[in-house]
Amino acid sequence: MTAQAPGPAALIVFILFFAATILLGSTVSWWRAHRPAHGADKSEDWGLGGRQFGTWVTWFLVGGDFYTAYTVIAVPALVYATGAFGFFALPYTIIVYPFVFLVMPILWRIAHAGRHATAADIVRARFGSRPLELAIACSGLVAVMPYIALQLIGIRTVIAALGLPGEIPLIVAFVSLAAYTWLGGLHAPALTAFIKDIMIYIAVLAAVIVIPVHLGGYAAMFATAAQHLPKPEGNHALMAGQAVPYATLALSSALAAFLYPHTLTGVLAARSADTIRKNAVMLPAYTLLLGLIAMLGLMAHAAGIVTTHSSSVVPLLFLAIFPAWFSGFCFAAVAVGALVPAAVMAIGAANLVTRNILTGRGQDVGAARIVAFGVKLGALACVLFLNAQFAIDLQLLGGLWILQTFPALVLGLTRIRFSAGAMLLGWTVGTLFGTYLCFQDGLKPTHVLALGGLHQAVSTGLLALLVNIGVVAVATVLVPGRRTETTVA
Amino acid sequence: MKMLRLALLLPFLGLLWLPFYDRIEPSFLGFPFFYWYQLAWVPLTSLLVLLVWKKGARS
């Protein structure tokens, strides 16, 4: 980064807010009157907050967990690079809520009754199949690991923008994150999520009010930004051929979003099914914020930011527009914004490992802590020793893999009697097919279908899911019924 | 009650069929149609979910 460092004021503000959040989260068990929920054991308290989070805590937790720091960096970066196409995150985070409203209260009820903490727990209870449980757990684990790495990359991006050299700051951030999760469990991100969210709201609202004023209003901002981007035909906002990828990526992302271990952990930690329904109504407030965050990518063009390193678009924009101290505040918002989801992700991964992959460790909070630490260490190693592109590619594949758990977890809720074997076969075929296509296409999220001379790019994850569901349907017709332990070669 | 749930399909239709909103004009408050149309679906979806929930619970 060649941008001038913003000076000591920004650095002091940054460290102040970051340290305060870490301290608050790590000590949560001391200053929070210790009251484990009725019947909840220690591991359930650490890994699921004792299933006692009310409407507001759930709102902040899921909001903080779903709209991550990486989102704040990556969505504007995509919009900066591609223009209107990058906005597919907006329909994605709208249509996800009718889905959450219909499906998640049912999953919550099953999990509550059976004291399940993970998707794999629920699937095991439904199908009674250990191989299927392992398949679901492995998908969750490999999908969430690169996500944690991306949060660390988010922290590194803002630290670099503050002008701190080397890898030491990242390691300091990592140690803080580790201590925070170890000591506080899910209570740490739950109770610091509100700090993160308020900081992000302040930063983004300031940006979307101040920046257009600088640039002469929204109409002028859109007009200037359009000059820096490829021009779509006629009255269109998207380029020719982008409409189908836009819609299919939005749909596949929305179907995958709440299958991830971290989002599901947030949902299962809710106090009641109605808490989730209320949140399906209230969470779209974050989507409005996300829409504004996405605009930052256009504003960067209008503000004359020129960079080939698109993930530094947001830091550069903040530095260009805001006074140094406020840039420091915004960077702290992003860094704190990375802690909350990273902690929940590590906890979600730990729940999977202790409950579904290793057996008989479900009650062991010590093991869960060690696994959560190991998962984060893996993410750190990935960021330090492999390049960032590796984490980004893996996250793309992770989205495809987690989507293949949709049939077992969601279609398994219907009255149709799918067999475990059919589900396992569908999962295997969908995962292999999607991964193969993705590699064939050079790790792009869409695959070009040739239908009678018509070439059309479609979300690869969605194609793999369709193949997966097709296999499940055929296998269910051929071998119907609810026979458990059907073996599949 | 079951019929009411079909209302939850509206956001999917409105947002996944691009010909509805892949256009610049008419703009509103300086926002091209493409952007304000999608932003408008945020409160609309919220209201639809609330409606389905409350009406569904009553019947």
A394 and A388 Cβ atoms separated by less than 8 Å:
no
A55 and A282 Cβ atoms separated by less than 8 Å:
yes
Beta bridge partners of A457: A448
Q: How far apart are CA A44 and CA A365, in angstroms?
A: 8
Q: How many CB atoms lie within 10 A of CB A397?
A: 21
B3's tokens? 């019929």
Cα torsion through A329, A332, A336, A342, rounded to 10: 150
What lies within 8 Å, CB to CB, of A226 at 6+ separation is: A83
Peptide bond preceding B26 in cis form (omega within 30 of 0): yes
On the 0-12 / 13-18 / 19+ scale of CB atoms within 10 A, A387 is: exposed
Q: Is B51 on the interface with A (CB under 8 A)?
A: no
Out of B25, B34, B45, name the one closest to residue A84 (CB). B34
Chain A neighbors of B1, CB-CB under 8 A:
none
Lowest-confidence segment of A110-114, A115-119, A366-370 by average pLDDT: A366-370
Percent of chain A with pLDDT over 70: 93
Chain B: residue nearest A218 by CA?
Answer: B30
Sequence ranges of the domains in chain B:
2-58
Domains along chain A? 8-406 (1.20.1730.10)
Full-model pTM? 0.89
Q: How confident is the model at residue A31 (pLDDT cuts 50, 70, 90)?
A: low
A24 and A183 Cβ atoms separated by less than 8 Å:
no
pLDDT, one tens digit per residue, over B8-44 is 999 999 999 999 999 988 989 889 999 999 999 999 9
pLDDT, one tens digit per residue, over A343-396 is 889 888 988 998 898 876 556 777 888 888 888 888 888 777 777 777 778 888
CB contact under 8 A, B45 and A244: no
Q: Which residues of A touch B (CB under 8 A)?
A: 84, 87, 90-91, 94-95, 97-98, 101-102, 217-222, 235-238, 243-244, 246-247, 250-251, 277, 280-282, 284-285, 287-288, 291, 295
Q: How far apart are CA A482 and CA A173, in angstroms?
A: 49
Q: How confident is the model at residue A296 (pLDDT cuts 50, 70, 90)?
A: very high
Buried b (16+ CB within 10 A) or exposed e, A146-165: bbbbbbbbbbbbbbbbbebe
